[in-house]
Structures are given as C-alpha cells and as structure tokens.
Structure 1
C-alpha cells in the first residue's frame, strides 16, 4: 500500500462521552506540537566505535552528531540498540538518524551484545548482560563533551523492546522512551498466543537472526554488517558465535510460560518485560508506545501497559501492520495511504522527545491514548481504557448457524465440527507481518468460512461500534485431550462479502481460569499458561473454554451482520494441535450451556 503525507487527522474525543450520544469531533494536528525542533543543522557526522563493557566485551555503535556542531553545544541523546545490525557495510547515516541529528540530537545506534559487530554472546532475548550493557552505554554517553546528560530510548520491534529494557535499568539520565510495536508479553502476544506456538515466526525469525549473527550477507545487493575499523575484529566476533544455539531450539522446548529450555537455562518469564513492571514503574520513565490493530498482539500489549503502569504514558493504536508502514484496514482499498505517514510518525516522536529531553512545554499530555476505529476510519482519543460509553452485549450461538440476541430457552441444542487442518488465514496475516513489517491483507473470507463452524447475526438495525476486547465462551466436548481453538470476529456486508476484524486463540491445555493475581491488568479471561494450571480435556466431557479475542475498534454499519467463525487450525502460521489425530467437537448451545460471544458495543442513533 502507498504512503503519503497527511498533516491533519480527525480525532474524536471518547473520554466522558455518554453512551447515548456520539462523541464530538475536533481537529488535532499530528506531529505539529508547539515549539517543535526545526532543522538547525545542514549535515551530520558519523563515527564508528567500540564501547568497552564491565567484562571487557566491546559493543559496536554508530555515533551520529549534527555537523558542524559548535564548540560547547550540549545535546540530548537518543539511543537505539538492535540485534538486526545497526547498519550495513557501506552505509552512511540513516534517514532516521539524520532526522533527529539535524534537529539537535545526538543519535547512538548499537549492536546488542553477541550480534552485528559487537563482541560477546546473545543466548536469548533480554539476557542479563545485554540489559546491563544499555546502562553502561548511557554512562558513556553522559560522559561525552557534547552530552547534555539526558538520554531517550527509541526503537521499533526488537529495538522497541530494548528501549523498554533501557528504562528498566532505572538510570537517572534516561528521561523518556518511545517503544514502537514492542512485545509487552512475548509469550502471549507473539510466540504463543493462546498458548499455541506461532511456529512460522519462531522458526523463520530464529533462522534469520542466526544467519545475521554469522554475518551471512543479505539484501539486494547482498551485504554484511558494517564493521568497526578495518574489519579485522569482525571475524573474531563471528567465530565466537558459531556454536550458540538458535532461538528456535529453545522455543521448540516451550509449552508453558515457566518451561526452562536447556539451551537457555531460563524461562520466557525471565526475558519478558511484563515480569519487570516494578522496575519500570519505579523509574517513572515517561513512555510513548505504538501498536497496530493488525500487528500480532502489539495492540493488546499497548493496552495492558496503558492500563497497568502509573508512568506518564502516551499511546497510539492504528490500523497498521508491524512498524506502521502499511494501512491494513479491510474497509479501505489496497492502495490506501498509511496514516499518519512515516514522516508524521517521526514528527510525533520528535514532539515527545522535545518535551521530555529538551524540556519544551509543547502540549504533550501526561496520559493519552489515541486509537483508530476501523470502518468509521476515524481517530479518537481517551485517557482511560476501555473508553466510557460502551456496554457489554451477548450474542448466543443458535440453531441454523445463527447468532441470537436472546439467550436460548431450549434445554438441548448442539453443533458438531471436525477440525480441518488445511484451513489457513494465508501468509499476509497479522502474524506474518512481524517479519519485516509486510502489509497485512485478509481476502474475502466467504469461501474459507464454509470450512469453519460459523454463527451469523441478523442484519444490524443500527450502526454499531465495537471497541474493546470481545470474549467468546464455548461449552464444548472433544474426542481428544487437546485442541487449538481459533475464533474470528467478522463483518458480513449486505453483498455477502466477509471481512476479517480480529481473532482469538486458546489451546485447550491452557483453558483453566486462574484465580491468582495477574501480572498486569487483564482485559479478558486470565489464563496463566503455567505448568501447574495445565488442564487437558477429558474426551467426551463438556468443558468451558473462555477465549479473549485481540482488542479492536470497529464500526459495523446498519444492514451488516456479525459473524463468529471457529476453526481448529491455521496451518501456515501455527503448530498443529494435537500433533496427531483429528479432533471432533460438539459445541453446546442450550439454556444450561449457552455458548456465546460478548461484545463491548455502542449503538449509534
């Protein structure tokens, strides 16, 4: 999809809006804050160097400064740490580095320990040494003659995670972070949503970063990582990594959150930022977090962070693929421009850093969530989540594959489904975009729905907005002890076209609802995914399966119909559950066991 500059967006205020009245519309200029830093320098300089750590390991960084920098000028710094190579061989300063440096920032981009041109070993995400390095790099920054003593963390995807880990160090010089599309809960938001292994990403990403760590050339034309100096040290760093197990080897040994693969020696809890929220909150570091409705579970992570942490927070949830490069709303044509544009996204970040790193009073709020409503194609803003004015409404599974607004009165009723392991959402879905930020495109799902178990409502009598976390509760029996449940919320238009809205998952093994305090504010059912809570199904016995779908905001128009579609596989994306055998399910839909979906809705007049 194409990209273009769009300076003004419509923001609809959702805060304190009564449910019977539509929210008022106001204009907000995205990236147009007061006293925004302007281009004050014509050029930049770049310096490549190794920074020694406490144990002698040397971390490769690129230092980009405004050029010429007057003697005595002091600059705030923006630090980005990556495991995807800080730059390719032959590259100069990147467009992002130039953007910030020409506006009066020092920009430091580094290869995380054990990656790129840095020395050391990268055994798994957020190893303790990797996180400690970030604090020592900040120590180095504040000692430089050009430093104002103030640092911000910035990044997208993995570098968003390192921005979080930077703040976790509680370094007094770190005044703000901007994590764009991070993995707040990597188990539930990315690798094992619903406890089901996202094998397409785990395998593909794991193999790709292993090749990068061995400096296998990539791109067109193929190039390796940019060395520090003449490159004589680079081969030494690569030799030390050759026998390090790839991340996929560890992921393949995980079923539960607390599993500790031998190749790691730790569990995913140890390298999840949500496990370290006390550190983040103690620091009080302001954070501006980005996520996309169509980017794996990043939107869910943004909302969990926003509703849990007391830190000053700005957040934005758009209709995006991973990284915000593509507009993925199913209600727009494939060539619809992403909004805000890449340039506007940078200006939004600049405004945030200007406020917290340069001390400018530019109108940056202490707490704000900007979100996009699909179908309406409008931006809205709130300071609480869920936004006020929404009611929970249940639609019950009923006979003839229908969704009924009234609970069933019959004492019997059920539907049968045999899992089809060949069904798929394709390879342009919300999960595949995590590898490189590709576009997200769901084709008309009318044909694939014939292979799923579906329940469809009558045409809506009014426009209906759904904003929040839909929850599906199934009363179901199976012929096997384990299954994977995939549930899709869809919009069926008057022509019969079926549009994807969102989805949820749950592996039956993880179906237990935990009564322990959750690690963060839960927006749906609390499944711990811990080994102690494993609950295999008893074949032939009815179990309650509660599935929280990924949050969304969508306007369904009058005359459209709501559909819930249920599958037992998504073959191109997720691992097969169970590994062998074909489950047959019976879903109950009667007065004693009323399977249903609960939607957070607001009807429009």
Structure 2
C-alpha cells in the first residue's frame, strides 16, 4: 500500500497564483454563420470577455459539438437560464482572458450540411476552416486551443491531426479512441441500447425542435419532462431569418445517417459503413496516429474507471501517442460532476468541483501559451477505496504483478490451482440478467453511474467467490479472463463482472468486460496500435464458431480499474451471457448452456493485476 505525499502526486493546480484574480467579468455573445470551403454554413456562437479593449487580442478556445451549441429557451425560462450549452465553461474561460467559439458541427443543430456518419472527413476539415476564420478576426492573437468532453473530445482530438500551426494545446475528456471497441462493438458485442438511444436523440436534435429532449424519457424521465417545458429549439443564428433557417436546416438534416442504421451492415471491424469502402477503423482516432504525433500538440486527457471505456482510451492514447501528455484517470461520471465509485454515493460531488476543474484547464492552456509544458508524459490515476492519487510515467505501473486466481469446486475463487482431473459447472444463459440503466454505457447519456441490486442480479449468474482477504491489496490494471468452456451453441456472449463483498456482506461492482464467443481467436497479426491486453482482430476472416464438444479457450481483458480491497473483503466474479438493457442478444435464437471447466487440465482462472 502506498503513502504518497499529496503535493507531488496530486494532479491539479487550480490554486496556482496566476489564477487568483480573473482579469475580466462577464462575457458578450455573438451568433453568426461561418462559411466552409464548399459553401456549407456552420452555426457558431462567439463568446468574448466583456469590456475587451478595441485593439486587445486574445487566444481562442474552439469547441465543436453535435448536441447544440446553445439553446433557445421559452419564457420565463430564458429570463434566468443562460443560453450557452455549458454556461459555467464559457464563464470561466472568458473571465481568464479567452474567447470561446462554440459551433454546431456540419449537419447538426443550426448548421447546414448533412452527416453520413459521425466524424467524417468533411467534419474534420471544417475545423481547419473554422481555425482559419478565427485567427483572421480582429480580436484573435493567432492562438487556438481545443476543448471537448465526449463527442466534443473526439472532435478536438481529431482536429489535432490537421497539424494547424495555430493550435497550441488540446483538452480531451472522456472520449472513445477506438470507435469499434470503445463505443459500437465493445468486445465484438453490439452496444444496442446505447446506440438506439443516442441515435434517436441525435435524429431529433437535428430537427432543431425542443421536443428532442423527450427522447431522453426512457432513461431520464424527470429531466425530459422539465426540459421540454423550458427548451423551445436550438438557438438560431440571429443574423438570419430565424424560423426560416431552422426549417431549412431541419429539412436538409433528414438526409443524415445515424449509428443505429449501420447494425444491418456492420458486425466486424473490417465491414464497410459506406459505398466508398470506409470502415469504423478509418474514422477512429488511432488511425490518425502519424498526423497527431506530427502535430506535437500538447494534450491534457481525462478518463474515469467506470465511465464507459474512457479509462481504457486514456491509457491507450498515453502509450501510443508521443505528444506531450498529462493524463488523468479519476472516479468520476461522464460529466465530471459526481463520483462513480463503489465507495461513494452516485450523488456525491466529484473532487475537485467543476469550478476548480475549469481553473485547472485554464492553467494548462496558459502553460501551453507560455511553452511551459513538460515533454515527458505523465499519468495520474485515482485508487478507489484508498482515496489517493498516484503518478506514473509508463503503463502498466512498474510494480504491477499479475496473480492468478482459479475457479474451483464449490464455486470458490482461490489462489490454489485445481488438482482434480475432472471438475466443471454448468450454466444456462439467463437473458433477463442486466446491469440496469445506470451502468458504464448509460453514463455516456449524461447519467450517473450506479450499479444497483447486485445481490439480485448475481443470483441470475454463475458466481465464484473468494475467502476473506488476509491482507489489503491494491488492484490496478486490466484483469485478464482465462476460461475453458463448452457450449451448446456456435455463438454467444460471455460477460464477466468483477466485484467485492464488504464486511457487511454487501456486494459492490468494480469492473466488467465481455467477448462475443466467435471472436475468441487470439490474432497473430500485428494489432492496429500498441496493445497491452489479448489481441482479437474482430475481423470477418477470424471468426471462430464453437464446435460441438469442443473445449474453447476464452481469453480477454476486463476494463481497467484501480481499487484498494481491504483485509476481510471477499472477491467475486459473476459470469453471464446477456445484459438485456445494454447489448444485443447472442445468439438471436435459442438458449445456450455452457459448461465452465475448472480442473487439472483446464484450469479456468482470472489474472488480477496486483500492485506490490
């Protein structure tokens, strides 16, 4: 167990002397269209500090969203709710001397154009046109910063691939990095419910009306009802005929495509998403590695252990990109507002709070402008339970050791390797099992993370539990599953939940992972980027249906975590083959029965990353 001093390990510098007194108070707003190279008009709101001197020039922060750059509220809500998408972000950035340009990406909000799929080449090139426009404004000092969370984080990161000389730094928060594995097909499993909700929300947002918020009703009914009363539409560009322009763009947006539309044509990593041969791999961030590294733009990246796959994305970016990087992996939800930890309520506020988080980002931008960014990469991660930050310069942590814990008879999880020649457990897949609608995937829809009713859900699963730990252990890294199983069906899904049971016998969820069984082949090909976990290609040529009476080896990684389990806690893995509120059903018909082997020959086990 570590006992670091807070000062060298604590990542945040929001108390820096330079941030004590903001230079400005308040901001002005201007709405306009910026015309792209092909004539498409992009809606933009420009926020500048109030009382900016006539000849004063300041740096600019560019944000590119598909969720409306700003809102038009109904009376009386417009009298007391500010219209920017994120008013606190705009306020903090402007009082510290930055202009903010927040735009609706091509084919969304009040912008013209269409979208064949998210993050198209045209959408990326729009960023160049926007930056060129910014640096030619009278108030611009020629320096541009990039900022974004989630979708906006992706647009910020992809914009670095343009290698535009005006870009001096990028803050990239909670975004996917490998779109196939981190969003659409995690473990080769179609992320059906999230993509349905995300697509239906996007489709309605693109029609510009406030009724789009009703698409949130299935998973956030209270917010949907209140927001419907308040929100009239996306904010129109004031220099235009407001009603006509929104009607025009809504009509054009009807030609858009949405992620859920691709399920019929995409299953594998190498499946094409258009008639031009584009694949999900082609639009993923890692495919731009050479250009992003060439830019040498400093990055400040954030992820969280239980926020979808953003911790994994943060780690992969850290080990694959040579850019100067400060990386953070926290115990927060997707919006950085609340904790996402088994040791805290989902309502507990994130620490530090939003204002201090934003001041921290200002400090990074200022350091970029002053060329004070360290070329050495550093990653800070938060250990849940210990409630401490750790600082490392490489991943995995240098003191990590993978320790095997074996499945044994009587549903025991033990360090003792099975010695009997026979031993197995059978399990009929329960398609009613679920992690609910507050899991790591639903937080992408701006929801808190809360894994309820694990005692009830574990009764639907095949579980193996350890004896109470004899001493406290820190687990940091990717747990690795090594199973040997038989199945009555060629295809299926294996999902593994890693949990602990506290001194009061309450079950707490730590992390999970899943693999579609036809993707179990460990590929001998070179992976598309540096990986530290078992490599499955997820390509059509590598599918491997399970044969009758075959003992199939299943090896894959769970999502990374960092947690301190105290002496007396018990560890548990809960194994299933479905998550009805998240994933597509595999197989589409029939109910598989699996036989999980745990014997001398087939020693199914879990490798746990222990910090020594």
Question: What TM bracket, shorter-length normalisation?
Answer: over 0.9
| SS of residue in 2 equivalent to 1:277 | helix
TM-score if structure 1 supplies the norm length? 0.93
Matched, 1:82 2:65: yes
Q: Could you tell me how far apart the structure 2 residues matched to 1:24 and 1:318 are?
A: 17
Name which of 392, 395, 411 aligns with 2:421: 411
Q: Deviations over 1:551-600 (max 9, x none)?
A: 00000110111111100001111111000000100111112211000011
Residue 42 and residue 262 in structure 1: after superposition, are their counterparts in 2 closer, same or farther (change >3 A)? closer
1:435-491 CA distance string (max 9 Å, x none): 1x2111112512221221111111111101100000011111100000100001111
1:5 maps to none
Cα distance in 2, alignment partners of residues 238 and 265 from structure 1: 28
Match of 2:315 among 303, 324, 327: 303
Residue 9 of structure 1 corresponds to none
TM-score calculated relative to the size of structure 2: 0.92
Aligned with 1:40 (options 12, 17, 23): 23
SS at match of 2:402: strand
Deviation at 1:265, TM superposition (A): 5.7
Give distance in 1, aligned partners of 2:567 and 2:554: 31
SS in 2 for 1:465: strand
Q: From the superposition, tell whether residues 270 and 251 of structure 1 become closer, same or farther in structure 2 (CA, over 3 Å).
A: farther
Aligned to 2:385: 375
2:219 — aligned with what? none
Mapped to 1, the partners of 2:3 and 2:350 lie a distance apart of 24
Partner of 1:395: 405
**Larger RCO of the pair (alpha carbons < 8 Å, separation 6+):** 1
Taking a change above 3 Å as real, the CA distance of residues 37 and 85 of structure 1, as seen in their structure-2 partners, is: farther
Match of 1:125 in 2: 118
Q: Which stretch shows the higher mean deviation, 441-450 or 410-419?
A: 441-450
2:37 counterpart (36, 49, 54): 54
Counterpart of 1:196 in structure 2 is 189
Alpha-carbon distance in structure 2 between the residues aligned to 1:165 and 1:403: 43
Give me the whole-angstrom Cα distance separating, in 1, the residues matched to 2:293 and 2:99: 26
Deviation at 1:337, TM superposition (A): 2.4
**1:591 lines up with 2:600 in the alignment:** yes
Match of residue 325 from structure 1: 337
Residues 284 and 312 of structure 1 are in contact (CA less than 8 Å); yes or no, is this contact kept in structure 2? yes
Q: How does 1:422-433 map to 2 (within 5 A)?
A: 422-433=432-443
Unaligned runs of 5+ residues in structure 1 are 1-20
Q: What does residue 215 of structure 1 align with?
A: 208
In structure 2, relative to structure 1, the CA distance for the partners of 1:239 and 1:37 (3 Å cut) is farther
Q: Which of 116, 126, 129 is the matching residue for 2:109?
A: 116
Which residue does 1:156 correspond to in 2?
149
Question: What is the number of equivalent residue pairs in this alignment?
Answer: 580
SS at the partner of 1:269? helix
Cα distance, 1:364 vs. partner?
6.3
Residue by residue over 1:329-366, the C-alpha shift from the partner in whole angstroms, topping out at 9 and shown as x without a partner, is 1112444321121112111211111111x3164x8674
The answer to whether the 8 A contact 2:114-2:255 is kept is: no
* TM-superposed deviation, 1:514: 1.2
Select 2:2's aligned residue among 8, 22, 26.
Answer: 22
Q: Which runs of 5+ in 2 are unaligned?
A: 74-81, 214-226
Deviation of 1:222 (Å):
3.0
Q: Matched residues in 2 for 1:166 and 1:514: separation?
A: 32
Residues of 1 paired with 2:500 and 2:330: CA distance?
19
- Are 1:250 and 1:262, in contact at CA under 8 Å, matched by a contact in 2? no
**Could you tell me how far 1:251 is from its partner in structure 2?**
3.5
Matched-pair contact (CA < 8 Å) for 1:37–1:354: no
Q: Quick check: 1:196–1:575 contact (8 Å CA) kept in 2?
A: yes
- Cα distance in 2 for residues equivalent to 1:390 and 1:438: 32
Partner residue of 1:242 out of 240, 254, 259 = 254
Query: 2:371, 2:68 → 1: CA distance?
Result: 33
Distance 1:556 1:406 in 2: 20
1:532 aligns with 2:551: no
Structure 1 residues 250 and 510: alpha-carbon distance in aligned structure 2, compared to 1, 3 A threshold: same
Q: Which residue of 1 aligns with 2:465?
A: 456
Q: CA RMSD in A?
A: 1.7
Matched, 1:313 2:325: yes
1:359: which partner in 2?
370
Residue 378 to residue 398, structure 1, CA distance change in 2 (3 Å): same
Q: Is the 8 A contact 1:245 1:263 kept in 2?
A: no
CA distance in 1, matches of 2:461, 2:196: 27
Match of 2:77 in 1: none
- Residue in structure 2 matched with residue 11 of structure 1 by the alignment: none
- Superposed displacement of residue 531, structure 1: 1.3
Runs ≥4 in structure 1, deviation > 6 angstroms? none
| Aligned mate of 1:514, from 491, 514, 523 | 523
1:267-291 alpha-carbon deviations (Å, 9 max, x no partner): 2112211111111111111111111
